[in-house]
Structure 1
């Protein structure tokens, strides 16, 4: 499985209400899915790992999940257009600013104002030479970077969950 980064620009909408609702549902052990733009990225498959990155300040990661199949009636590949026949089931018919939209099952979130900051990651040896300042959604991480990011995310999300600033599905 691959790992991708999807961006959020807080100027687009206020995500805090969405994160509060997601934290509430995860705290009950419920699964919650988000539809999210991956820009023009075409290769995301069901099962791929997805990190959500805040583009503003503080810049960093605020959610993690896994790409899942959209409802069959909503799948982009079901449109009778040969351009979309090879797309995975995670792509939805929706579009956002001429970009594709995927369906993601959210496994952990933290408060939007307390992301796993990029500057903290850059201070770690495994991220010293890694580019983390993505300009578009849907960028793929190299496997070693993805593993290191997941380890740091687990620590960060667990710490914030104990402070009431995050929720993790794994804890339920």
Structure 2
């Protein structure tokens, strides 16, 4: 996490691969929020976008998986897909944007958050209004954490 914060604060990119479980519809350019589920405090700790995996590492070069986007990595194991991502903002694991907080907000009354494992889609019931509100909350949260030294973001988020 510290390396990601350093790179983002310096205006550099930070990316790796992330398990998306069995979801096979991820596309290059998709927005991705990263949610900590295994340990307390749970919550969103990063936001970014899905990027194309290096050409020689793309899973779609495997004949029976050619339908996948170029984001999928050949790090595929145990039927769990891995996609390439680039974080645009991040906070320390102990400074997450709490899912409990979101569940209590009236803006999310009509949406049921189910945070159980890595690699979940927010689903079709997560509307453009939900996403806009989550984006606003996230930017506010990450900017506050960055001021305190607990987060960082690319200049893209500050303009």
Q: Deviations over 1:34-87 (max 9, x none)?
A: 2000000000000000000010221110000100000000001112x1x31111
Does residue 77 of structure 2 align to residue 92 of structure 1? no
Does residue 140 of structure 2 align to residue 155 of structure 1? yes
CA positional deviation for 1:149:
1.3
Say whether the 8 Å CA contact 2:59–2:76 is kept in structure 1: no
CA positional deviation for 1:132:
1.9
Runs of 5+ unmatched residues, structure 2:
none
CA distance, structure 2, for counterparts of residue 77 and residue 44 of structure 1? 12
CA distance, structure 1, for counterparts of residue 72 and residue 110 of structure 2? 32
CA positional deviation for 1:119:
1.3
Aligned positions, number: 152
Partner residue of 2:51?
68
Aligned alpha-carbon RMSD (Å): 1.5
CA distance, structure 2, for counterparts of residue 145 and residue 94 of structure 1? 32
CA distance, structure 1, for counterparts of residue 130 and residue 65 of structure 2? 30
Say whether the 8 Å CA contact 1:26–1:169 is kept in structure 2: yes
Aligned residue among 11, 29, 34 for 2:11? 29
Going from structure 1 to structure 2, the CA distance change for 1:131 and 1:85 (only over 3 Å counts) comes to same
Does residue 87 of structure 2 align to residue 102 of structure 1? no
Going from structure 1 to structure 2, the CA distance change for 1:92 and 1:147 (only over 3 Å counts) comes to same
CA distance, structure 2, for counterparts of residue 129 and residue 94 of structure 1? 37
Q: Name whichever structure is richer in strand by fraction.
A: 1
Using the size of structure 2 for normalisation, the TM-score is 0.89
Alignment of 1:109-124 (within 5 A): 109-124=90-105
Runs of 5+ unmatched residues, structure 1:
1-18
Partner residue of 1:58?
41
Aligned residue among 39, 45, 63 for 2:27? 45
Say whether the 8 Å CA contact 1:127–1:145 is kept in structure 2: yes
Say whether the 8 Å CA contact 1:36–1:102 is kept in structure 2: yes
Using the size of structure 1 for normalisation, the TM-score is 0.83
